[in-house]
Amino acid sequence: MAAPMHPPAPGDTIIGYEMFEGEPGCCQCTTLSREGALAVLIAVLLCPCVACVPCCMRSMHDPYQVPVYGKPAPVQQYKTV
């Protein structure tokens, strides 16, 4: 889980989560999957000049979620009959 896009205001609670795809790109290694990290390690050992290729592949990145903050929903009062 990543940090929220906007810090919560006082009194806000988590109202849900938003899913994001990992962004591929050179030196974008924070969302690499295990397979991606292994591919980078193998590339560094065998041919360092192509070590950034797995980072540029979308399939080597895991999706991640970010919490969404907002005002809590009002609590409904139920009457018993």
Q: Does a structural domain hold residue 41?
A: yes
**pTM as predicted:** 0.58
Q: Does a structural domain hold residue 44?
A: yes
Distances in Å between the Cα of 13 and the Cα atoms of 16, 17, 73 are: 9, 12, 9
1 pLDDT higher than 70: no
Percentage with pLDDT > 70 across the chain = 96
3 pLDDT higher than 80: no
How confident is the model at residue 26, as a pLDDT?
77
Q: Does a structural domain hold residue 7?
A: no
- How many domains is the chain built from? 1
Q: Does a structural domain hold residue 81?
A: no
Please report, as a single letter, which amino acid is at residue 15.
I
